[in-house]
Every structure is written in structure tokens, then in C-alpha cells.
């Protein structure tokens, strides 16, 4: 009798552990940082993210470099989206805040004004942002 109860207990525990698998969200909200510098970068980053199967919404902020996504975790993973963005030439920051650098070939394919690794171009874009803010004031 004790063996039967013990066996049934093990089966019950096994089934309850198995049923506690992490359920994947079909509308998961995810954010991570992506390097870029201008409106063309924004379009390139958002398009790359949206072309990834399972991504429903993508918006990248030029000033904060934050990419916000709504994605179906059953169809894709954050790493897949990051790989799509790396392929179009933009560096991303992983969950551990470590920078993942796009291959030089991909980076060199971006428009010359989008060279976010070049200090001169960054300074030039900051000047453009100041001009836009003054126009809006």
C-alpha cells in the first residue's frame, strides 16, 4: 500500500512540475537599446524589427536609442530581433547591457550620415537637433 501511495505521489508531483512550464506571451512588451543617429536609422531599425516573424509593433526613439516592441514570444525571441537589426548595421545592447556590435560589412552598408560610430557625424547630428529645437521654441 505504501508503494502505491509513493508511486502516485511521484506521478502527481511530476505532472504538477510539468504543467508549470513558462507560458509564452503572444503580446510581450520588450525594450532594449539600439545604436543609431537619425531618421533614416529609425526607419531601418524599425523595418528590420518588423520583418522579424512574430514582431507586431516596433518603435525606436532617436534621442534615447530605446527600441520598444510588441512581439509574440511563441513565434520569435528577442535574440532573433536583435540579429535582424545587427544584419542591417546597427549595434544592440543585450539583456545584460553588453553591447553586441554589428559586423563591419553590415555597418559599412548604412548611409554615410548614419555612421553612428563616427564622432564627427554624431556632433553634426547634435547640431541638427539643436536647430530643430530652436525652430520649435
**Can you give the pLDDT at residue 46?**
97
The Cα 12–Cα 80 span in angstroms is 37
> How far is it, in rounded angstroms, from Cα 82 to Cα 79?
5
What would the pLDDT profile of 74-117 be if each residue is shown by its tens digit? 999 999 999 999 999 999 998 788 999 999 999 999 999 999 99
Alpha-carbon gap, residue 7 to 106, rounded angstroms: 58
CATH of 28-136, one of 3.40.720.10, 3.30.70.20, 3.40.50.300, 3.30.70.100: 3.30.70.100
pTM of the predicted model over 0.85: no
Closest CA to 49 of 13, 11, 82, 27: 82
Domain ranges of the chain: 28-136
* Cβ atoms of 70 and 56 closer than 8 Å: yes
To the nearest 5 percent, what fractions of the chain are helix, strand and coil? 45, 15, 35
CA distance linking residue 8 with residue 120, whole number of Å: 70
For 23-39, what is each residue's pLDDT tens digit? 888 889 999 999 999 99
DSSP state of 101: P
Amino acid at each position: 500500500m505504501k508503494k502505491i501511495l509513493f508511486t502516485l505521489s511521484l506521478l502527481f508531483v511530476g505532472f504538477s512540475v510539468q504543467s508549470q512550464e513558462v507560458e509564452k506571451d503572444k503580446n510581450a512588451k520588450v525594450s532594449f537599446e539600439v545604436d543609431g543617429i537619425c531618421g533614416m536609422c529609425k526607419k531601418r531599425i524599425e523595418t528590420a524589427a518588423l520583418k522579424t516573424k512574430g514582431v507586431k509593433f516596433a518603435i525606436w526613439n532617436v534621442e534615447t536609442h530605446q527600441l520598444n516592441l510588441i512581439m509574440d514570444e511563441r513565434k520569435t525571441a528577442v535574440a532573433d530581433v536583435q540579429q535582424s537589426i545587427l544584419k542591417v548595421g546597427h549595434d544592440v545592447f543585450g539583456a545584460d547591457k553588453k553591447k553586441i556590435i554589428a559586423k563591419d560589412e553590415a555597418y559599412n552598408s548604412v548611409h554615410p550620415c548614419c555612421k553612428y560610430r563616427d564622432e564627427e557625424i554624431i556632433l553634426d547630428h547634435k547640431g541638427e537637433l539643436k536647430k530643430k529645437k530652436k525652430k520649435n521654441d
